[in-house]
Amino acid sequence: MKDNTYLVHGGRQPSRQHGMVNPPVYHASTVLFPSVAALEAAEKNPFEGVYYGRFGTPLHFEFERAIADLEHAAGAVSVCSGLAAISVALLAVVKAGDRVLVADNVYAPTRKLCDGLLARMGVSTVYFDPCEPDDLTRLLESGAAAVFLESPGSLTFEMTDIPALAATARAAGAAVLMDNTWATPIGFRAIDAGVDISIHSATKYIVGHADAMLGVLACGDRWFDPVRRCARQLGYCAGPDDVYLGLRGLRTLSTRLDRHAHNADRLCAWLDAQPEVAAIRYPAWPSDPGYALWRRDFERASGLFAILLQPGSEPGIAPMLDDLSLFGMGFSWGGYESLVLPVNPAGIRSATRWDTRYPCLRIHAGLEDADDLVADLDAGFDRLRRAIAG
């Protein structure tokens, strides 16, 4: 099945649910067994069928199967947030004394986890430049349990040559972990590209409506079982209502992504013509440094990107953003609504340099009419200009 068909028909079996189109939500902790023999069999293999609420319900299994199929993965594991998925992936592959190599452009809480909890457990982290493959090759010479990638970086949008870096890391015996949230399971087939564990904050585009927290890990053969055991040992599980929203979100994922990407493209075209914009950071935009890699490896884009403003724009940022009427200001992204966020990536890098002269705004193109979004930005840029002129 092609993606658009699978998104509609995958992860549901109406004949098994009284003909109802969508699978039901099971609110469950206790699962009853009909006999001692059945109880003992379940204890031996808690991942076979239903066992206990924390191990998932038939709804969780439908969602996980759908994500695994879309990612061409051996299996998927749902957890309670994207950050929980990141921590499960790392904790499943490391032990005390190990070293992990982490791309310098990862989501900031991934860094905090590495520098905090993992460091306390005796796991050290070295950061590398995701755009300099030689950097990783050199570091791998001293060994690593895992390499963690994020492409594009969700704040600064550098593209990484995932197939090349994954091959290098695997050849050195390291597990390859990737935060694939920006592209979603239908935008980049991370497992096919050599990634062992593809991590999604389903909170973003998969749920798509800014109303649930959900994470999911799509795993290749080698790591599926360790990952699901790690998630259950930690006690991480996704709430059934949130899983329902994740599965429901899949039905419209492709349609929504088309519109997000279309609106992002329209906004970039307008922004590119503004003298106050020094650069656009959107891998699907032809002047972006990562455009060639995006074209080569990705099947589609999403709606999250950044712009760099000309030096000296700072005084205009608050007046511009405070009075936008359609763009909200808030963390997260991937919902139906447009967002904008002033960001300063300089404080969360160590292996690469971020030029702080160019103030950075991260923009999420929502599903509104692009003309209305442009008009909102246009008025905002007027305020920016007036504030700078002073």
Site residues for ligand PLP per CB under 6 A: 81-83, 107, 154, 179, 181, 201, 203, 213, 215, 332
Nearest to 73 by CA among 286, 262, 225, 301: 225
Nearest CB to ligand PLP, comparing residues 57 and 81? 81
Residue 25: what residue type? V
Nearest CB to ligand PLP, comparing residues 42 and 77? 77
Nearest CB to ligand PLP, comparing residues 58 and 345? 345
Of the candidates 129, 135, 179, 288, the residue annotated as catalytic is 179
Closest distance to ligand PLP from the beta carbon of 106 (Å):
8
The first and second tokens of residue 359, run together, are 């103030």
Closest distance to ligand PLP from the beta carbon of 201 (Å):
3
Closest distance to ligand PLP from the beta carbon of 193 (Å):
17
Nearest to 276 by CA among 318, 241, 321, 307: 307
Half-sphere exposure of 316 (CA within 13 A, CB side): 23
Q: How far apart are CA 337 and CA 339, in angstroms?
A: 7
Known active-site residue 204: yes
Nearest CB to ligand PLP, comparing residues 39 and 343? 343
Of the candidates 111, 204, 248, 251, the residue annotated as catalytic is 204
Q: How far apart are CA 49 and CA 326, in angstroms?
A: 46
Half-sphere exposure of 3 (CA within 13 A, CB side): 19
Closest distance to ligand PLP from the beta carbon of 173 (Å):
26
Known active-site residue 383: no
* Contact indicator for 200, 84 with CB cutoff of 8 Å: no
Closest distance to ligand PLP from the beta carbon of 81 (Å):
3
Closest distance to ligand PLP from the beta carbon of 70 (Å):
18
- DSSP line for 45-97: -TTSS---GGG--HHHHHHHHHHHHHHT-SEEEEESSHHHHHHHHHHHH--TT
Nearest CB to ligand PLP, comparing residues 168 and 201? 201
Dihedrals phi, psi of 304, to nearest 5 degrees: -105, 130
Nearest to 23 by CA among 325, 243, 211, 217: 243
Nearest to 146 by CA among 197, 184, 200: 197
Nearest CB to ligand PLP, comparing residues 7 and 83? 83
Known active-site residue 26: no
- DSSP line for 176-245: EEEE-TTT-TTT--TTTTT-SEEEEETTTTTT-SS----EEEEE-HHHHHHHHHHHHHHT----HHHHHH
Of the candidates 54, 138, 353, 357, the residue annotated as catalytic is 54
Closest distance to ligand PLP from the beta carbon of 331 (Å):
6
Closest distance to ligand PLP from the beta carbon of 128 (Å):
18
Known active-site residue 54: yes
Which residues share a beta bridge with 176? 147
Q: Closest CB to ligand PLP belongs to which residue?
A: 82
Nearest to 131 by CA among 282, 290, 287, 360: 290
Of the candidates 12, 107, 242, 376, the residue annotated as catalytic is 107
Q: What is the dihedral of CA 288, 292, 298, 304, to 10 degrees?
A: 0
Nearest CB to ligand PLP, comparing residues 127 and 381? 127
The first and second tokens of residue 24, run together, are 């039901």
Nearest CB to ligand PLP, comparing residues 165 and 206? 206
Catalytic residues: 54, 107, 179, 204
